[in-house]
Amino acid sequence: MGQNRHLTAFEWAKQAVQATGLSQEPWLDDNGDGIYDEAIDGQEAQRRGFAYAGTLVDEEWPPFIVQATGPTTIQQGQGVIRANVLDDVSVRRVWAAIYPPSYQPPSPPREDLVSETLPTIVLLDQGNGWYGAAYTGFNEIGVYRVVIYAEDNTLLGAQPVSIEVQTGWKVFLPVVLKD
């Protein structure tokens, strides 16, 4: 993660939230004043890292999602989701959250966290760093957003990866008017 591990971790978390497509914005308040100020906050986090002796515990690396793929075919609402995940020690679990085409984020946008129940599946170890599972809920026509997550044996999380899965095709016929 480089010299500024704690600030980089915040930036990764911020990108993870953006990958979900939700209208949430993470804040870092490391000076404790209760106000997010991008110009000021993050300075304390920058003082911690590999270049600063005693500021980090033993070096541990989060898993890395190298590649994620959606189904090549979908039959009767079922398709396989796969991900290639690597880690310095061992991957504990890999899973996917599925946002169907009809998904609507909670409204109006809120500053507090909102608990949601989304369809999720666990991707099982298929060997050589590949994980996969069949999802049986591709029942709506449109674009699904699938966000892949991974966690290693030390509970460090990977940077999530988002993919899109197109189901069905809407057919638009030309309109013919008779005079």
Q: Which one of 21, 41, 59 terminates a domain?
A: 59
Q: 66: domain range? A: 61-169
Is pLDDT above 60 for 1?
no
**Do 55 and 67 belong together in one domain?**
no
Q: Please tell me whether residues 41 and 110 are part of one structural domain.
A: no
Mean local confidence (pLDDT), 148-175: 85
Q: Which of 12-16, 93-97, 101-105, 142-146 has the lowest mean pLDDT?
A: 12-16
pLDDT digits (tens, 9 = 90+) for 43-81: 777 666 555 555 555 567 889 999 999 999 999 999 999
In a domain, 132, yes or no: yes
Total structural domains within the chain: 2
Give residue 10's pLDDT: 72
Distance CA 48, CA 25 (A): 23
CB atoms closer than 10 angstroms to residue 169: 8
Instruction: Give percent of the chain above pLDDT 70.
Output: 74
72: which 2 tokens? 């090549």
Q: Which residue has the tokens 């106000």?
A: 35
Contact 152, 123 (CB under 8 A): no
Categorize the per-residue pLDDT at 35 as very low, low, confident or very high, splitting at 50, 70 and 90. confident
Q: How far apart are the C-alpha atoms of 121 and 123, rounded to whole Å?
A: 6
Q: Tell me: the pLDDT tens digits for 89-125?
A: 899 999 999 999 999 877 766 666 777 789 999 999 9
4-35: burial string, b at 16+ Cβ within 10 Å, e else: bbbbebbbeeeebeebbeeebeeebebeeeee
Residue 30, token pair as written in the block: 């490391």
Q: What is the pTM of this model?
A: 0.65
> Sheet holding 161-167: strands in order across?
64-69, 79-86, 130-135, 120-127, 91-99, 142-152, 161-167
Q: For residues 123 and 93, give the distance between their C-alpha atoms in angstroms, rounded to a whole number.
A: 8
